[in-house]
Structure 1
Amino acid sequence: MLAGRHILLIVGGGIAAFKSLDLVRRLRDQGAHVTPVLTKAGAEFVTPLSLSALAASKVYQDLFDLTDEAEMGHIELSRAADLVVVAPATADLMAKMAAGLANDLASTLLLATDKRVLIVPAMNVRMWNHPATQRNLAILRGDGVLVAGPDDGVMACGEFGPGRMAEVPQIIAAISAALADGPLQGKHILVTSGPTHEPIDPVRYIANRSSGAQGTAIARALAGLGADVTFVTGPADVPPPEGVHVVRVQTAAQMLAAVQAARPADAAVFAAAVADWRVANAGQSKIKKDAAGLPHLAFAENPDILATVSQMGAGRPPLVVGFAAETDDVIANATAKRLRKGCDWIVANDVSPATGIMGGTENAVTLITDQGAESWPRMTKDAVAAQLAQRIAQVIA
């Protein structure tokens, strides 16, 4: 897919810039042509010579290079590529993009381009979580900018959390998805997956048997059709797919916050098995077994993520898809759930122990819409995901 494709790679400042060298090498290995643009801050971490040698191309740095600007070089650079990639995308670069600034070569190229743009954020966890950065991220997503990462991990500064630049294979997958001629190209889709863990105390929690396999397959299928996927996952048994923006959470409250932060979206698929209740009086230290008898656990309802998004009015995704894992009267219960929650579609399945579906590799679902119930034959979870992704593309593409 990358053979013969032209990538304009903007390298921002930050310790993660060293990954851009490996990214260039791997893109070249797959036959892509790479034109590097190195910011002033980026040049503090990688050298023009290194980038030029790996890319077998001139490295551009200065907006006011008279030789290039005699032929409006910044316009040509911005439009000759098939895709513009910013890796790493610093908080400063994201802010410039969101505000439409153009005071150096990188920001000018980003404002002048008519091609798709993929950013790969990398920054300190507090900078990533800052309201200004999250506000800029929402603006960029609304403008159609694609996002890969960031991941959770240990920072160069020693802190841990989201902000670590995505690994090169994940970036390659995101570039391939962005260049795919799929029907969902340019669409942002939110997918939730896996269980949530609701703490009883620091060492115990309430959860369910969801493996996260179906949600993961759906995210993978949507990305394969060209969608920019934000994948909000609880502690699943399966690893997240490559080429999507992964947000890891533990609790239902954290999942709702991540979902709200990921908007706007063209569609949302809520495949996560969110715990209905949490322990309101969760212990701050381990609850001990003693002569006093069994502990008293007071339960409270968790936020209803599907209903919250389905009924939110302004900012609601045009297509909201829920899931209903039932053990009795599957279609009747799922149909009632769709009406009660206010979502557009419900994907219902029978998760009775005899079916082997919960935690298994196959699924048998019924798609419930305002047109009625459509039962699909039992198939692999990847096949269910592919069929659902195609149906979504028919509606929002």
Structure 2
Amino acid sequence: MIDPFFLVVLAFAALAPLALKVDGRYLAAAMGIAVFAMAFFVPEAAFFFTLLGVVAIAFALDWPYGGLGFALGLSATSTALAAYAYYRVVAAPQQAVYYAFAGLAALAVSTASIYGLLASGRERENVEGALKYLIFSAVGKTLMVLGFPLALYVSPTLGWVVLAIGFIFELGLVPAHLWMVDAFALSTPRGVAALTIFGELTPLLVLLTLLNVVPMAKPAAFALLVASLASMTFANVAGLTARTFGRILAYSSIAHMSYAVAAAALVFYFGNKFVSLPLVGNMSAFSVASLVIVLEGLTSGLGKAGIFGALTVKHADTVPERRVLSNAVNVLSLLGLPPLLGFWPKLLLILLSLALGQAGVAVLVILNSALATPYYLRVFRQIVEAAGPSADNATSVLTSTLAVVLGVAAPLLLAALIP
């Protein structure tokens, strides 16, 4: 059998003359896709092919957008790498450890690019907010890199306690939450948009990846459950008292990450058992928690990417200077209004809590959702009453469209996923 890698090299050699006629970004994108595909043909070197592929695709964005395009492409492709690692861990359990380290590597790849986007305004405040992200995120990632081998080879309890602290730092949960508030308030809007979708979704995917390799120890699950419940309550109360745009949405992100972490902690503290829920039928509690985590990450990321992506100011912590009506949909999705995307993860978390016999947790999630309503309505009002004509852009329209489409299609997608 001919080595497929040889065929790819031969194909690129034959097409090399096209470099004289074809825009380089298209060749870079094609090379990235081809190298990425090699991961499926050569499993023993899948991580290296995947990493090279996503970097090449990121380079393809460098031509039209310069360094910022490369940073944005690299942060996006690092999330794709984390999603790929999660998929491979589920599909190929015999290689789970290998892909878990690939997920951790993806998390590291995203740090520098998001830092660059946060500081891209180059003002003192931009750099200050970016540095706070870099420092706290570095602490979180270091703890994860230390904790996973500990959980795998030494002690699951000790390893997962270290990992739990790492995720608290990385996701900005209480008490390690102040960096997120400052990063949102001081950094550039485009950087905050990248942080909310790529900087939040990537660690959530890594959390799911690690949970599939080494189940969370009960002491760590208890600590994360307490931290997440306290964090969501604190964030929603603080959101009520916050007055500036960026800080309100920073507390919103802390609350959304708390909901996601609470789902995982619930399952591993009270036991991963089969549950029967309306809409999703019979499935394991961990599968429901996985849906909550992914949907929360998408809700928070898409909604805030649309909101901040429409700002043209130097600091994200400001009232919108122009009316972007599509972002009104994004705010309502963050609020959890049915049938938008943000409604489903909260509903599934409440149903999961009830199925595990934890009515108190379900009530707390409901109370937190109600508590968040006033500050989301304040943000909604700031968006629809902004001065000037409507100035919807591609990012806000795309994210709001996805919030509607994914929200309406969620029951059908869930029904298709459940056997």
- Output the TM-score relative to the length of structure 1: 0.28
Q: Which protein is richer in strand relative to its size? A: 1
| Higher RCO, 1 vs 2 (CA within 8 Å, ≥6 residues apart) | 2
Larger radius of gyration: 1
* Higher helix residue share: 2
TM-score, reference length from structure 2:
0.26
